[in-house]
Amino acid sequence: MNPLKSGTLDLALLAALQDQPRYGLDILKHVNGRSGGLFDLKEGSLYPALHRLVKAGWVQSEWQPSDRGGAPRKVYRLTEDGRRALHAKRQEWQTLRGALDALLLGRLA
């Protein structure tokens, strides 16, 4: 099961980059690992999403030498617009979560 849809995938990727720049497979491992195995993000979904975020101006990429002496890696980092987008998406998520909790658990949002 892969519950990551486009909007939540963007949020997950922005969150994965909030503390440090990462290369593609590191992002993949981070998102899948932090989800406790719930997410099963694949490269076929990761790279188109990263390209979309770059095009939106929320993420920038650059080639860097590998720390293991191999081929250079494309490293992704948040831009200031990306940090603002992450903040806005996080607030949207919290609002949605509160509304769903109210419906599912009978609590006020």
76, HSE (Cβ side, Cα atoms, 13 Å): 25
For residue 3, what pLDDT is reported? 52
Could you count the other beta carbons within 10 Å of the beta carbon of residue 55? 9
Residue ranges of the alpha helices (H) in 1-109?
A: 6-16, 24-34, 43-56, 80-105
Q: State the chain's mean pLDDT as an integer.
A: 89
- Per-residue pLDDT of 40-87, as tens digits, reads 899 999 999 999 999 999 999 999 988 778 889 999 999 999 999 999
State how far the alpha carbon of 76 is from the alpha carbons of 34, 38, 88, 108, in Å.
18, 23, 20, 39
For residue 67, what pLDDT is reported? 77
Cβ contacts of residue 42 below 8 Å, gap of 6+? Answer: 2, 28
The full set of domain ranges for the chain reads 6-102
Q: Is CATH 2.70.40.10 the right assignment for the domain spanning 6-102?
A: no
Residue 4 has pLDDT above 80, yes or no: no
Whether pTM > 0.75 for this model: the answer is yes
